[in-house]
Structures are given as C-alpha cells and as structure tokens.
Structure 1
Amino acid sequence: MRHLMAWAVLIAVFLFAGWGLNLFREAMERWLAFGHAADLVWMLAGLAAAFAGTAFLGGFVYYRDKKRNKLTREGWRGRPVQRRKRPEQG
C-alpha cells in the first residue's frame, strides 16, 4: 500500500508539471494573439507550476539516490574528484 501511495504522489506531481507547461503554452499563444496583460500572469503561473513540479521530481530522485549511496562525486568528463584533506587543528 505504501508503494501505491508513493506512485500516486509521483504521478500527481508529474501531471501537475505537465499541466503547468500546457498552461504556459496556451497563455503564450493567447498573449501573442491578443496581447492581454492577464495572459502574462497566467503564463508566469504555468511556468512556476512546471518548475515546481520538475523541482519536486528532481529532488525526489536526488534524495532517493543519496539515501541508497548511488551518488558519486565526478568532475570534468566523469573523472573522480579528489577530496581535500582538512587541516589539522591543534
């Protein structure tokens, strides 16, 4: 049951982000066609909804991978990054 609820939340957030992108697209078309200032507000609201949904999904994946120790520090072209040693205090 717990996995079903997690999937439901992820699907709802995915649909919310898609709705935000669709709202942004439709508001931009209306603004270009008619030039009403209210369409700019709807366009920004759609962009914010799309960003919020995408950020939530990205944070979920990052947190899950961090919890399972699947994250590695990589530098330029996938080379491992050397960790700096902390100076000795004393």
Structure 2
Amino acid sequence: MNYLVGWSLLIVIFLGAGEGLNLFRIHIVDWLADGHPVDGILALAGLLLAFACTAFLGGFVYYRDKKRGKLKREGWRGRPVQKPEHPRKP
C-alpha cells in the first residue's frame, strides 16, 4: 500500500511538470501572436510550475539515494574524498 501511495504521488508530480511545460508552450505562442500581458504571465506561471515539479522529483530521488547509501562523496573532478579517521585533540 505504501508503494501505491508513493508511486501515485510521483506520477501526479510528473504530470504536473508536464502540464507546466504545456502551459508554457501554449501561452508563449499566444503571447507572441497577440501580445496580451496575461499570456506572458501564464507562460511564466507554467515555467515556474514545471521547475517546481522537476525540483521536487530531483530532491525526492536525491534524498532516497542518500537514505539508501548510494551516494558517494566526491571532490574536485569526481575524485573520491577520504574521510578523516578521528579528529585529533591537542
């Protein structure tokens, strides 16, 4: 049951991102054709919706992988960084 709730949440967020891009596409064409300011505002709202949904999906995947220990700490140019053993006390 938990998987069903999680998958349905991800599908709804994914569809929200697609709807945001579709809203942007439709209203940017209308704004370029007619020049109404409302179309420009709705195009920006669609772009913000798509960005917010995509950021949520990225954060969801990041924290899920972090929780499962699949992320590796990397330094400059992808080189692994060694963790210090124990902090030395003076």
TM over 0.5, shorter chain: yes
1:80, CA displacement in angstroms? 1.2
Partner of 1:66: 66
Deviates more, 1:38-47 or 1:80-89: 80-89
* Amino acid in structure 2 at the alignment position of 1:22: N
What SS does the corresponding residue of 1:51 show, helix, strand or coil?
A: helix
Matched, 1:56 2:56: yes
Deviates more, 1:78-87 or 1:19-28: 78-87
TM-score where L is the length of structure 2: 0.87
- Post-superposition Cα deviations, 1:17-63, rounded to whole Å, max 9, x if no partner, equal 00000000111100111111001110111011001100110010011
TM-score where L is the length of structure 1: 0.87
- Provide the C-alpha distance between the structure 1 equivalents of 2:87 and 2:40, rounded to a whole number of angstroms: 53
Partner of 2:5: 5
Partner of 1:19: 19
1:73, CA displacement in angstroms? 1.7
Partner of 2:75: 75
Residue-pair matches, total = 90
Structure 1 pair 23–86 and aligned structure 2 pair: CA distance change class (3 A): farther
Unaligned runs of 5+ in 2: none
Unaligned runs of 5+ in 1: none
Partner of 1:28: 28
* Amino acid in structure 2 at the alignment position of 1:67: K
* Amino acid in structure 2 at the alignment position of 1:45: A
